[in-house]
C-alpha cells in the first residue's frame, strides 16, 4: 500500500530533521489542544452565549490573516526553522492570557489567547510550507501533506483527548502548566532540528524563496484551483465547526461540556484518520475529481445535520462527527498537496500564505453570518441555512474551475 501514512514513515526514516520537527509539533499541538479545552470548558461552565462561543472560533482564525503576511515577509529574511522556533517561544509567553483569565474570571483574556495563537499559526504556515518544499524531494511531497495533516489533527486530538480526561480531575491552572511544558519542549526540539537540517545539502539563501512574482492572472487553472480549494473547504466547514459547542448546548442544555468536549475529540480523530488512508500516488487525481471532492463536502455537511441524534445517543453523534471530518480532511489533504506540488520553490511560501488568507477570509465571512443567524434563530437554524448555502457555492466553484480547464485544454 502506498498510503500517505507509509509515505510519511519512509520520509521520517530518511530525514532526522523531519523526525525532530514531528516530535516538536506533536508536543506543541498537545499544548494547543489543552488550551482549547480550557477555554471552551470554562466558557461553557460560565454559560457563555452562542455569540461568545462563535467568537472564540473566529478569533482562532482572523489574526492569522495578518500573521501570514508577516510570515511571508519573514521568509525572505530568515530560515524557516528560525521562524518556527520564534513562534513557539511566543506561544509559550502567550499563556499569560488564559492564566489571567482563569484567575480573574475574565472572558476577554481567554479570548485573547485564541487570537494570539491564530496570529502565530499564520506566521508559521508559510515557513512550514517552504521548509517542506526545500527539505523534501519531489517524490516525497505526499509525506509533507501527511505531516501537515498530523500536525493539524494532533492539535486537538492529543490535547482534547487528554483535556477531556483531565478537565474535571485537574485544575485548569495545572493544565496550563502542562501546556507551558509542551511549548518549551517543542522549541528545544526545533532547535535540534535546525542543527541537523540541510536544505538539499546546500546552505539556504534566505532572500530567494519568496521573491518570485505570483500574479493571479498568470497562474494556470490548476494553480488557481489549488489555492481556492482550501478556502472552499473553510467556507463549508467553518459554520458547522464554529457552532459545535452551541449545538451541544441546545442538545444537552443541562450538561453541555459532557457532550461538547467528546465531540471535539471525535472531530479531531476524524481529521487524523481520513487523509492518512489516501493513496499517495493518486493525490493529484483526487484533487481534480469534482465528484469525489463534492461527495466529501456533502458527507461532512450530512454528518452535522444528523447531530441531533446525540439527544438520544451520544455515541451516534460522535460517529457522525468522526465520519464528517474524515471526509472534510480528504479535501484538506488534496488542497495542501496541490499547493506544494503545483508551485515552484520561489513561489510556494507566497502561494501557501495566499491559500491561508483565503481560508481565513472565507471562514470569517461564513462564520460571521452564522453568528448573526444563530443569535436570532438558534444554532440549528444557522447550521442548516449556512451549510446548504456554502455547499452550493463550493459546488459552483468546483464546476467553474473544471469547466475552464476543459476549455483551456480542449
pLDDT at 200: 43
pLDDT at 216: 78
Q: Report the candidate in 330, 357, 354 with the shortest Cα–Cα distance to residue 343.
A: 354
pLDDT at 260: 75
pLDDT surpasses 70 at 213: no
Range list of β-strands (E), 265-367: none
pLDDT tens digits, residue range 159-202? Answer: 767 777 777 788 888 888 888 998 999 999 999 998 888 644 44
pLDDT at 104: 85
| DSSP-assigned letters across all residues of 332-401 | HHHHHHHHHHHS-HHHHHHHHHHHHHHHHHHHHHHHHHHHHHHHHH-HHHHHHHHHHHHHHHHHHHHHHH
Q: Rounded to an integer, what distance in angstroms lies between the CA atom of residue 67 and that of residue 97?
A: 19
Which residues, listed in sequence order, are joined to residue 199 by a DSSP beta bridge?
202
pLDDT at 223: 84
pLDDT at 205: 46
Higher pLDDT, 203 or 30: 30
Tell me the average pLDDT of the chain: 82
pLDDT at 298: 94
pLDDT at 299: 94
pTM, full prediction = 0.76
pLDDT surpasses 70 at 377: yes
Task: Say if residues 296 and 344 touch (Cβ distance below 8 Å).
Answer: no
Q: Which three cell numbers stand for residue 268?
A: 479531531
Q: Rounded to an integer, what distance in angstroms lies between the CA atom of residue 384 and that of residue 250?
A: 14
Question: What pLDDT band is residue 296 in, cutting at 50, 70 and 90?
Answer: very high
CA 406 to chain centre: 31
Which residues, listed in sequence order, are joined to residue 202 by a DSSP beta bridge?
199
Amino acid at each position: 500500500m502506498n498510503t500517505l501514512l507509509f509515505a510519511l514513515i519512509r520520509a521520517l526514516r530518511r530525514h532526522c530533521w523531519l523526525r525532530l520537527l514531528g516530535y516538536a509539533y506533536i508536543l506543541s499541538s498537545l499544548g494547543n489542544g489543552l488550551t482549547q479545552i480550557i477555554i471552551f470548558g470554562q466558557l461553557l461552565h460560565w454559560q457563555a452565549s452562542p455569540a461568545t462561543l462563535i467568537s472564540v472560533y473566529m478569533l482562532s482564525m482572523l489574526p492569522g490573516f495578518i500573521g501570514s503576511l508577516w510570515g511571508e515577509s519573514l521568509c525572505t529574511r530568515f530560515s524557516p526553522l528560525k521562524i518556527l522556533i520564534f513562534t513557539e517561544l511566543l506561544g509559550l509567553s502567550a499563556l499569560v492570557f488564559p492564566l489571567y483569565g482563569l484567575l480573574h474570571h475574565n472572558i476577554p483574556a481567554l479570548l485573547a489567547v485564541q487570537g494570539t495563537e491564530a496570529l502565530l499559526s499564520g506566521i508559521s504556515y508559510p515557513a512550514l510550507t517552504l521548509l517542506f518544499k526545500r527539505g523534501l524531494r519531489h517524490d516525497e511531497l505526499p509525506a509533507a501533506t501527511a505531516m501537515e495533516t498530523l500536525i493539524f489533527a494532533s492539535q486537538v486530538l492529543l490535547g482534547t483527548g487528554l483535556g477531556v480526561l483531565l478537565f474535571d480531575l485537574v485544575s485548569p491552572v495545572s493544565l496550563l502548566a502542562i501546556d507551558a511544558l509542551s511549548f518549551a519542549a517543542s522549541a528545544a526540539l526545533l532547535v535540534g532540528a535546525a542543527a541537523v537540517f540541510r536544505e538539499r545539502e546546500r546552505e539556504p539563501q534566505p532572500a530567494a524563496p519568496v521573491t518570485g512574482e505570483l500574479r493571479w492572472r498568470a497562474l494556470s487553472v490548476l494553480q488557481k484551483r489549488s489555492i481556492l480549494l482550501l478556502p472552499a473547504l473553510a467556507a463549508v466547514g467553518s459554520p458547522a465547526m464554529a457552532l459545535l459547542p452551541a449545538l451541544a448546548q441546545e442538545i444537552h442544555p443541562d450538561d453541555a461540556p459532557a457532550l461538547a468536549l467528546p465531540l471535539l475529540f471525535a472531530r479531531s480523530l476524524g481529521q487524523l484518520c481520513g487523509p492518512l488512508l489516501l493513496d499517495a500516488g493518486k493525490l493529484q487525481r483526487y484533487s481534480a475529481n469534482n465528484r469525489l471532492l463534492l461527495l466529501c463536502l456533502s458527507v461532512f455537511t450530512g454528518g452535522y445535520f444528523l447531530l441531533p441524534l446525540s439527544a438520544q445517543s451520544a455515541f451516534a453523534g460522535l460517529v457522525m462527527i468522526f465520519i464528517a471530518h474524515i471526509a472534510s480532511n480528504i479535501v484538506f489533504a488534496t488542497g495542501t498537496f496541490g499547493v506544494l506540488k503545483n508551485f515552484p520553490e520561489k513561489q510556494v511560501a507566497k502561494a501557501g500564505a495566499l491559500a491561508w488568507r483565503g481560508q481565513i477570509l472565507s471562514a470569517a465571512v461564513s462564520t460571521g453570518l452564522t453568528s448573526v443567524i444563530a443569535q436570532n434563530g438558534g444554532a440549528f437554524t444557522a447550521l442548516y441555512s449556512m451549510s446548504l448555502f456554502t455547499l452550493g457555492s463550493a459546488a459552483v466553484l468546483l464546476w467553474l474551475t473544471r469547466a475552464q480547464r476543459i476549455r483551456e485544454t480542449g
